[in-house]
Amino acid sequence: MELYDTIGHGYRQLRQQDPRIAARILRALGGATSVVNVGAGAGSYEPRDRKLIAVEPSMVMIRQRASNAAPVVQASATCLPFRDASFDASLAVLTIHHWPDLSRGLQELRRVACQIVVILTFDTSVGGFWLTDYFPEMPDIDRQSMPSIAEMQRHLGSIAVFDVPVPHDCTDGFLGAYWRRPHAYLDANIRSAISIFSKMEGVEDGLAVLQADLASGRWHHRYGHLLHRSELDLGYRLVVA
């Protein structure tokens, strides 16, 4: 909660849902008619065609929710204020790496959902993308905070895992969204909505090298082949239990 009370002020503008990713989440939810969205933030990826309750600990994030957004409860993922099996499905989108107790949070997702648990997360075994050449500490930070798929399986039991490729023009400004728009990472406003930048030291050094490589053409020499790709698998995964 404290992190997003600090960095979360621009999330409504910068972290809008991408319709292609939203479609994958909707397919995973299937016929669930009631959903709890845990770690809901400003309200991205909340289906409007079914009953939904949002859970979000940060008041900064809650205040950014649209006036017609689903009802929201200020609470932690580790202690959901609902009875067992209160919803058909529980949903968690790019949030579990911020939970103070992963095991407890995943137990809560299972407890309150009677049919299905849907989680959008990141598989740290994939190894990231070109940005880690400029910020080599990123993979270590991810591994420290992001649970592995195997760890999630230990907590959730039988799971299905689906690749979520990132479109080149992704409208949700998470870390990998700008893989084909490298200049975006030089924008402090864009970085403010990517939590990992708040956890790193020496960010300015990496930015200086990236800026120099873009100016000299070195970035295009090394990574220009990506500019012909419409989407890329960066390790984002949809876990369904």
Cβ neighbors of 19 (< 8 A, separation 6 or more) are 171
Domain-located, residue 204:
no
pLDDT band per the 50, 70, 90 thresholds, residue 7: low
Is residue 19 a contact partner of residue 153, using CB atoms and an 8 Å limit? Answer: no
Domain-located, residue 219:
no
Calculate the alpha carbon distances from 240 to 27, 30, 93, 107, 161 in Å.
Answer: 11, 11, 12, 14, 6
Rounded to two decimals, what is the model's pTM? 0.93
CB atoms within 10 A of CB 138: 20
Domain-located, residue 208:
no
Domain-located, residue 77:
yes
Domain-located, residue 78:
yes
Domain-located, residue 20:
yes
Domain-located, residue 197:
no
Domain-located, residue 190:
no
pLDDT in tens, 52-82: 999 999 998 899 998 999 999 999 999 999 9
In the chain, the number of structural domains is 1
* DSSP state, residue 31: T
Is residue 112 a contact partner of residue 80, using CB atoms and an 8 Å limit? Answer: yes
pLDDT in tens, 87-130: 999 999 999 998 999 999 999 999 999 999 999 999 988 877 99
Segments forming the whole domain that contains residue 119: 2-126+144-174+230-240
For residue 159, give the CATH number of its domain.
3.40.50.150
